[in-house]
Amino acid sequence: MSEAQTLLLDGQEVALDKEGYLVSLEHWNEVVATTLAAQEQITLGPSHWEVINLLRIFYNRHQMSPANRALVNLVKRDLGSDKGRSIYLMKLFKGSPAKTASKIAGLPKPENCL
C-alpha cells in the first residue's frame, strides 16, 4: 500500500494509514478485524482471537503494541508455552506476527518493527 485508504463497512468509512493500520483505534470491531485479516489472506479462528484479545488487553494497559519477542513472551505467559512460540504465531499471522496481529487487532504498528 502506498497511500492511505478507506474501508467501507456497513455503510461507514473506516480510515487506514498507508500501511493498512487503523487511523482511529475506536473504529475497531470484529467486522473490521475480519476484513483486515482477509486483506492479509487470513481467516480468523479461535486461536487468532485468543491472541487478538490478548493484544488488545496489553495495549489498554501499556498503550503500546509489543514487538515480536515481547509478543511471544506475552503469549507464553498468558496462553501457555505451546502457543508462546514464534513458529506458532507465524503460522497464525503471516509475515511478522507482531505487525500483522496488531494490525488486525486495530492497534498501532509495534515500535522497533520495520
Distance of CA 99 to the CA centre of its chain: 6
- Catalytic residue among 46, 94, 113, 114, which? 113
The alpha helices in 63-96, defined as continuous H runs, are 68-79, 86-92
Pick the closest to residue 62 from 107, 16, 23 (CA basis): 107
Strand partners, 16: 5, 22
106 by DSSP, 3-state: which? coil
**113 a catalytic residue:** yes
Give the active site residues.
Answer: 113
